[in-house]
Amino acid sequence: MKPTLPTFSWIGQLKPDDRELLSSYGEFFPGHPGNVIIEEGVQQTEVFVVISGELEVRARQEDGSELLLARVGPGETLGEISLFHPGPAAATVTASQFSQLWRIADADLIQFMEDNPGAGNVLLRTLATILAERLRQLNPKAFGLSTYAVVDSPDLAKAAPDNTPVKPPVEVPPTRTKKVSTKTQAVPDPDEMEPLS
């Protein structure tokens, strides 16, 4: 039986036809126990979806040991941050049991979203929600971040000696401009009108 993308998780938000079309932009492949799917430190350029089975996410520690960060199962996504912030993988992902996976190159996922703007909009909103939820789960103190800090921001290095995070810059709201309908005639400003004689 041919594997299909899950009808739940972020991909499950798509209409069935869009989900089937998206699957053709990527590829299904098996993950045998012990297979490394993502390697820590290697440039990450693909998004993965677990169709079945289980994977373990581990990160190297300073003492050389590995810390188990998570176990991921069907419907879970890995590597989606590379779409928005390309860089090396922060952890190694290994199949802990036989798993069916689907992967798509970042460039191909972007191409799908450009070719199918309606479905692409759904995917972007859903992926943004997933990333926001994961950020909320982080312990800001453990990662040396303030509530408003941005990962890899140069401002983090400018923290005060007592490790008080730098306050984020105050954003000035954009100036609002009035929209004038092209179907109605503009009303002249009374101050600019000539007096009646």
The distance of Cα 179 from the centroid of its chain, to the nearest Å, equals 34
Q: Which residue has the higher pLDDT, 92 or 85?
A: 92
Indicate whether this model's pTM tops 0.75.
no
pLDDT at 41: 93
pLDDT, averaged across the chain: 77
Beta bridge partners of 52: 100
Mean pLDDT, rounded, for 43-68? 94
Once rounded to an integer, what is the mean pLDDT over residues 160-185? 46
Residue with tokens 């993988």: 89
Q: What is the DSSP string of 113-141?
A: HHH-HHHHHHHHHHHHHHHHHHHHHS-TT
pLDDT at residue 183, rounded to an integer? 41
For the chain, report the end-to-end CA distance as a whole number of angstroms. 89
pLDDT at 179: 42
Neighbours of 37 (CB within 10 A): 23
Q: Are 55 and 71 in contact (CB under 8 A)?
A: yes
Which fold would CATH assign to domain 11-137?
Answer: Jelly Rolls (2.60.120)
The separation between CA 82 and the C-alpha centre of its own chain, rounded to angstroms, equals 7
User: Which pLDDT tens digit goes with each residue over 106-155?
Assistant: 999 999 999 999 999 999 888 888 777 777 776 544 443 433 334 444 44
Burial of 9 (0-12, 13-18, 19+ CB in 10 A): middle
Q: Give me the mean pLDDT over the 42-49 stretch.
A: 94
pLDDT at 73: 94
Q: How far is CA 128 from CA 41, 71, 100, in A?
A: 24, 21, 25
Q: What is the CA radius of gyration of the chain?
A: 24
